[in-house]
Chain A
């Protein structure tokens, strides 16, 4: 909808710019107890400026904000490494049931048996899906799961009196959180190159492994969207050196019911519920990053885990919070992002084993369909069948002065969210495309046609790509200026 610019500017006013003394957005209750003596004046606050707006204004403001977003509910999101799949509405609805959304984290265990039972069963589902011994749901995001997993590896070596293992190996295709998480555990990070087929270079790995190796962090399929065909050998090499293998579960959407990472040789991994298990991304959280471990690392899982015991006074089964024997400790104030756990539980219960396998089947077929349709138009650095995502390079387009960024921004004009760009770092002008299983063939065909059209535009009218996007509330934004002159908040005017 085209609008007069004045209306657009009005829509973008900040809350403080809509504020007028005397307005309020909710009717407040009255005090029903006698007034109590107040503390001394100097402890009290004399000034706190907050917006004063009516309820209708709040709703209209957020509605207009929402209309400036792309989202899975409104647009195709072929965003590699992020699994932007459809988020089922029943999941959100049940997470809002008062028995889940209104319970306090410190309630006596006997008053939250339903919540604990759900979490206990979800632990079991996770362990079963990835082929591990046990799962902790306490970690609140993928990166926090990585941190916990690497702390577990550290704690394991220390429990064996081995403090010399200070090195963590990370492939050069890894996501930035991997080395960042390892560094937060005090590890020294060594990068391992990839080979010409997009697998890890096993010779380089062998050379890097020694008595200081704490472990390897690996995403499977890797960030190129490829299943590393040397996976058994990789795990063997690391284990023979005395190290452990950490799995980054970012790409689990390709693996459901296809293989179990625990059986392949991974010792511990995190799972992103907001990717594989369909909880909404929320514009950057909340997510959840449960961690599953095999029998040697399970005692080190983050606290708490949920256990099932038989009550002493009856045959009744009861669920309770417990701390694993050699736990790395707590990673959250309470028990993790429970609201997201309810959604993931509902998702798995709705699908069952066959439904989960069907997800990966269709995610992989969709990605390969795109790979095949576009490989004559965009450079394909690794010409082999992919898993759930495919990485192209815009280096052919680069020759005529069009970058991956330009291609991505032009997609916006066609109502498609840009793919992940310039990642993994080892692919020049990378465009990483993950269609997911929730998109129809018609949508994929539309996307393929648009990508072909853009490839043609790159040759014929490069400027239209460079100026893209054309129809969004903002054209390309000056990021250098934002960093040079940080304006990070509304401030009261000086006068």
Chain B
């Protein structure tokens, strides 16, 4: 039985290799190579748990995973910026290919044509979905994409105030504040009833569908922004666009979205990818990486990173952003998803989602004690006003094995934001209705 301690499986050097290398380098010991570290600070004790074998790792991680309640095994009606949609098997297969997953940023185009062409596909399909002219290769997530859009609008217009409709997600708003406040930019709130936009605004920021799930009047807002030489910036939902008019068709100057609904695992909030698009005239103010098509020395088509003079590694403190990543592998998942779904599939998923969400809303609104406080068109999310606090409703639902909705009672009294997609079966919807009915009865 082998008892000696082996190296980790990730380190191929043997003791013999190391000795040969130290001899070649001409030093006595490994420590000599670290002689520049000040005395008293070298080789500190690390208080970490003892190492595990692969077998033990799998067990430990399985145990941690099992502590979580998994949507899909239980009904879940959460949305609020991350959405359950079916992911075709092909998507996981594609992004688990080592040649794509373990490649570096494609700065060397001759050995990165796979990644580069996949990103060009991403930019192409994102433009199609958003109805916009140009797209970059992706941002960290939907929230940072919106924050960067606000910064970009300020650069383009030279103005320093950002008008944000009061129906924009509070989380997105807080990320935007993190990004804009240090640059001395001011965010102000636009009441969606009065729609008063100041002349000194760089942009009007709209979420569509908004954070309650309802559609905004993009054309009206676009006219209002453009009359004040401000840009219309739209944050939207990608699956919604399988069925509804795109921001491009409605006058958006910059349009962003969370890419997660297009084939990306929920994964407790990340990694996702932010979709970022704009009109061609603003291309050179875009943040992030961009891939372009060109030719090689033999005249063959190929792809490269382009317009890099906008970026941090060239422009340093004068770059359009410090971003240095494009979430390329997640972007590839989006491309694989859209390739599988295609024209018919994306529309079908959007329609399934729409009809199921509306079916759920219509029967929930008939339960005594519950109502839909907002009028208007929604897609997959809607706010229900509950007879008791949303917190109590969610807690009672969870006792019955149902993960409820997002609590929006800070903005709408007893408001519960429910989301229904193609992942929720009719049975799940009817169980939800039955449980909500019981909850209302028991509180009388």
Kindly report which residue of chain A lies nearest to residue B420, judged by CB atoms.
A33
Interface check A377, CB cutoff 8 A: no
Q: Would you call A115 and B68 a contact (CB within 8 A)?
A: yes
Interface check A194, CB cutoff 8 A: no
Docked pose: A9 CA to B65 CA in angstroms: 45
Docked pose: A101 CA to B333 CA in angstroms: 14
Interface check A493, CB cutoff 8 A: no
Minimum distance in angstroms from A319 CB to a CB of chain B? 10
Known contacts A63-B97, A104-B71, A483-B306; A48/B33 CB under 8 A: no
14 further interface pairs, Cβ-Cβ under 8 Å (given A38-B354, A101-B267)? A25-B342, A50-B125, A71-B99, A101-B265, A111-B69, A112-B69, A125-B48, A176-B314, A330-B178, A355-B51, A358-B8, A365-B33, A483-B308, A486-B283
Minimum distance in angstroms from A445 CB to a CB of chain B? 10
Docked pose: A285 CA to B270 CA in angstroms: 12
Q: Would you call A285 and B271 a contact (CB within 8 A)?
A: yes
Q: Would you call A45 and B246 a contact (CB within 8 A)?
A: yes
Known contacts A185-B182, A332-B143, A368-B25; A50/B343 CB under 8 A: yes
Kindly report which residue of chain A lies nearest to residue B172, judged by CB atoms.
A333
Docked pose: A118 CA to B296 CA in angstroms: 47
Q: Would you call B329 and A32 a contact (CB within 8 A)?
A: no
The 20 sampled A-B contact pairs (Cβ below 8 Å) are: A14-B124, A68-B114, A69-B112, A98-B72, A100-B68, A101-B267, A107-B403, A112-B68, A176-B312, A263-B44, A280-B101, A283-B118, A285-B326, A358-B11, A362-B13, A437-B10, A439-B12, A475-B297, A482-B294, A488-B290
Kindly report which residue of chain B lies nearest to residue A319, judged by CB atoms.
B67
Q: Would you call B171 and A333 a contact (CB within 8 A)?
A: yes
Minimum distance in angstroms from A135 CB to a CB of chain B? 14
Q: What residues of chain A lie closer than 8 Å to B394, measured between beta carbons? A: 108
Interface check A201, CB cutoff 8 A: no
Minimum distance in angstroms from B216 CB to a CB of chain A? 11
Among the listed stretches A53-61, A238-246, A291-299, A392-400, which one makes contact with chain B, having 4 or more residues with CB under 8 Å of it?
Answer: A53-61
Q: Would you call A369 and B307 a contact (CB within 8 A)?
A: no
Main secondary structure of the interface of A (DSSP, over half): loop
Q: Would you call A33 and B355 a contact (CB within 8 A)?
A: yes
Docked pose: A338 CA to B82 CA in angstroms: 14
Task: Count how many pairs of residues, one from A and one from B, have CB atoms less than 8 Å apart in the complex.
Answer: 677
Docked pose: A173 CA to B86 CA in angstroms: 47
Q: Would you call B10 and A438 a contact (CB within 8 A)?
A: yes
Known contacts A28-B348, A71-B101, A488-B134; A283/B106 CB under 8 A: yes
Taking a contact as CB atoms closer than 8 A, the residue among A70, A84, A183, A286 that contacts B111 in the complex is: A70
Docked pose: A68 CA to B120 CA in angstroms: 15
Known contacts A31-B355, A97-B62, A100-B267; A331/B178 CB under 8 A: yes
Tell me the chain B residues, 140-165 only, with Cβ under 8 Å from chain A.
Answer: 140-144
Minimum distance in angstroms from A476 CB to a CB of chain B? 5
Q: Would you call A184 and B182 a contact (CB within 8 A)?
A: yes
Docked pose: A361 CA to B135 CA in angstroms: 43
Q: Would you call B344 and A52 a contact (CB within 8 A)?
A: yes
Interface check B441, CB cutoff 8 A: no
Q: What residues of chain A lie closer than 8 Å to B172, measured between beta carbons? A: 333
Interface check A314, CB cutoff 8 A: no
Q: Would you call B50 and A352 a contact (CB within 8 A)?
A: yes
Docked pose: A5 CA to B116 CA in angstroms: 20
Tell me the chain A residues, 27-56 only, with Cβ under 8 Å from chain B.
Answer: 28-29, 31-40, 42-45, 48-53, 55
Known contacts A48-B346, A490-B124; A282/B327 CB under 8 A: yes
Interface check B439, CB cutoff 8 A: no
Q: Would you call B359 and A33 a contact (CB within 8 A)?
A: yes
Q: Would you call A71 and B338 a contact (CB within 8 A)?
A: no
Q: What residues of chain B lie closer than 8 Å to A181, measured between beta carbons? A: 322
Q: Would you call A98 and B73 a contact (CB within 8 A)?
A: yes
Kindly report which residue of chain A lies nearest to residue B354, judged by CB atoms.
A36
Interface check B60, CB cutoff 8 A: yes
Q: Would you call A99 and B302 a contact (CB within 8 A)?
A: no
Docked pose: A65 CA to B118 CA in angstroms: 7
Q: Would you call A349 and B355 a contact (CB within 8 A)?
A: no
Q: What residues of chain B lie closer than 8 Å to A337, measured between beta carbons? A: 270-271
Docked pose: A51 CA to B103 CA in angstroms: 26
Q: Would you call B24 and A372 a contact (CB within 8 A)?
A: yes
Interface check A131, CB cutoff 8 A: yes
Known contacts A257-B46, A477-B110; A85/B10 CB under 8 A: yes
Q: What residues of chain B lie closer than 8 Å to A101, measured between beta carbons? A: 265-267
Known contacts A36-B354, A82-B104, A104-B82; A140/B94 CB under 8 A: no
Q: What residues of chain B lie closer than 8 Å to A423, measured between beta carbons? A: 313
Q: Considering residues A68, A118, A329, A340, which has the most beta carbons from chain B within 10 angstroms of its beta carbon?
A: A68
